[in-house]
Structure 1
């Protein structure tokens, strides 16, 4: 990381394809990552909470045993640790994730 501003839109433009992530910043005990969502991501879960901020577009979070949650640009949702989930995007959209640096994209 540098001491220069980071353009989220520029980093999004450089993402190579669906579900590819790029780290934006590390702050205290958290990392901000951006990813392009398109289609269905595999079901997974984490040992920690995961914050989803819909940057643009719209996507759905399927949650095991719960009603799905749809996020539109500017909306935030936290998937609590241990909840099996998967993002689903009918059209390309982008998400900013706030999680621990060691969090695996495909969960536990």
Structure 2
């Protein structure tokens, strides 16, 4: 990567929710931004942890045993194999980091295709 990346600027390039956009790659990982609102599907990732960093808004990560509420500047890592569902009452902007090719729903058949911006 030869140029700096402005995450706020990248987030102005799309409007759809729950459709992450890759902004950079780091080793074997994709660094992505995403806009979310409403409820995502319950899912899990058997082989990877799930990293969420809130840039704007508020995110609740529901898990069978508890909920974690995140605001701007806060992050949480869902351990691999733990079923979870992200929920955002308002439009929320996130930074995600995960191994390249990880399906966002935990299932390649229902995952959103990877998009680069």
Deviations, residues 9-38 of structure 1 (Å, cap 9, x unaligned): 011111231112100111112211111010
**Residues 54 and 72 in structure 1, CA contact (< 8 A), matched pair in contact too:** yes
Q: TM-score, normalised by structure 2?
A: 0.86
Once the two structures are TM-superposed, the CA of residue 53 in structure 1 deviates from its matched residue by 0.4
- Paired residue total: 106
- Partner in structure 1 of residue 62 of structure 2: 62
- Gap regions ≥5 residues in structure 1: none
Check if 1:10 corresponds to 2:1.
no
CA distance in 1, matches of 2:80, 2:33: 20
Q: CA deviation at 1:49?
A: 0.5
C-alpha distance in structure 1 between counterparts of 2:14 and 2:44, whole Å: 24
For the 8 Å contact 1:17–1:36, the answer to whether it is kept is: yes
Residue deviations 1:37-63, cap 9 Å, x none? 100001111120111101111110001
TM-score (norm 1): 0.93
**Structure 1 Cα separation of the partners of residues 39 and 66 of structure 2:** 17
Higher strand share: 1
Which residue of structure 1 lines up, in the alignment, with residue 51 of structure 2? 51
- The residue number in structure 1 matching 2:38 is 39
Unaligned runs of 5+ in 2: 108-117
Q: For the residues of structure 1 that align with 2:59 and 2:83, how far apart are their CA atoms? A: 17
Deviations 1:76-102 (A, max 9, x none): 100000011111000001110111001
CA RMSD in angstroms comes to 1.0
